[in-house]
Amino acid sequence: MIKTWMIASGKGGVGKSTLAAALAVALVREGKKTVLMDMDIGLRSLDIHLGMENSVVYDVLDYARGDCRLSEAVLTHLSMPQLGLLPAAQLGTAGEIDGEIMDKIFRKLLKHYEYVLADAPAGLTRGIERILGSAENTLLIVTPDDVSVRDAERVIELCREKDKPAPLLIVNRVIPALVQSGDMHSPQTIADMLDVPLLGYVPDDTEVIRALHGHRTVMDTDCPARRAVERIAKRLTGCAVPLMAIAPPQRKRSGWFSRRRGGELPK
């Protein structure tokens, strides 16, 4: 079972940090002690997603520079002692952490945690290369639009160049009604376009936005996004949870027959 994951995307703003925080909570609820590494250095966010922003003292760069011990930088969630957070620095980049130290951070965290999720910066930076070098595999987050999909191809290429396994895909912000009307790619279509395995999809859900506003994850609310993240976490731990199918695009009925049966006229 793969225990160290980089959470990456080509394009920014697709939901990496949101899903990293939610997945970590879901893994903890599956009984798996999990630590999140906020590696989007300069754009730290996971502390806010988890409501831990007032607890940050040291960060990953402080550790990398030898200014603190790793145990001093890693925070434990107050109500979920099985959940740890290694916060990002407010300044700098993940590229400042050399490969050896990055490996050491992963190795040390694995002594205390079963799963390590590293939230990477968007795009192809030296930072993502360093994280890729140390994590076993990548969770690639895309939204169902061609820009995000095309940018994701670059991450897949990078994995290939670095002899890393093909990432597992999570399609975020899916709107099933638009998939059914043929106005949005289905998660499986995107996986086929990118030629990577589909781990799952998460619907677009206003509860996600509400949760972030309250500095908590969507895992505290009963909503479709939460249930989707729970299924993804189960798959990560090796449970065979089937993908929730979205019915294929409906062919719009037209003509005399459909009118007689009360079908919609073509728009």
Chain residues binding ligand ADP by CB under 6 A are 9, 12-18, 172-173, 202, 204-205, 208-209, 212, 225
Output the smallest distance, CB 51 to ligand ADP, in A: 15
CB-nearer residue toward ligand ADP: 32 or 226: 226
**Burial class (CB within 10 angstroms; exposed 0-12, middle 13-18, buried 19+) of 142:** buried
CB-nearer residue toward Mg ion: 16 or 226: 16
Q: Residue 47 binds which entry of ligand ADP, Mg ion, none, with Cβ cut-offs from 5 to 8 Å by kind?
A: none
Q: Residue 13 binds which entry of ligand ADP, Mg ion, none, with Cβ cut-offs from 5 to 8 Å by kind?
A: ligand ADP
Radius of gyration (C-alpha) of the chain in whole angstroms: 20
Output the smallest distance, CB 174 to ligand ADP, in A: 8
SS3 30: coil
CB-nearer residue toward Mg ion: 4 or 18: 18
Output the smallest distance, CB 170 to Mg ion, in A: 14
Cα 226 to Cα 97, 233, 245, 254, distances in angstroms? 33, 11, 17, 38
Chain position carrying tokens 């003292």 = 57
Q: Are 207 and 220 in contact (CB under 8 A)?
A: no
Output the smallest distance, CB 118 to ligand ADP, in A: 12
Q: Residue 172 binds which entry of ligand ADP, Mg ion, none, with Cβ cut-offs from 5 to 8 Å by kind?
A: ligand ADP
Region class of 8: left (phi > 0), else alpha (psi between -120 and 50), else beta: beta
CA 106 to chain centre: 18
Q: Residue 59 binds which entry of Mg ion, ligand ADP, none, with Cβ cut-offs from 5 to 8 Å by kind?
A: none
The residue ranges that bind Mg ion (CB under 5 A) are: 16-17, 40
Q: Are 56 and 47 in contact (CB under 8 A)?
A: yes
CB-nearer residue toward ligand ADP: 59 or 204: 204
Output the smallest distance, CB 151 to ligand ADP, in A: 11
- Cα-Cα-Cα-Cα dihedral of 145, 124, 233, 188, to 10°? 30
Q: Residue 12 binds which entry of ligand ADP, Mg ion, none, with Cβ cut-offs from 5 to 8 Å by kind?
A: ligand ADP
CB-nearer residue toward ligand ADP: 16 or 77: 16
CB-nearer residue toward ligand ADP: 16 or 231: 16
Please name which of 208, 187, 235, 35 lies closest in space to residue 119, comparing C-alpha atoms. Answer: 35
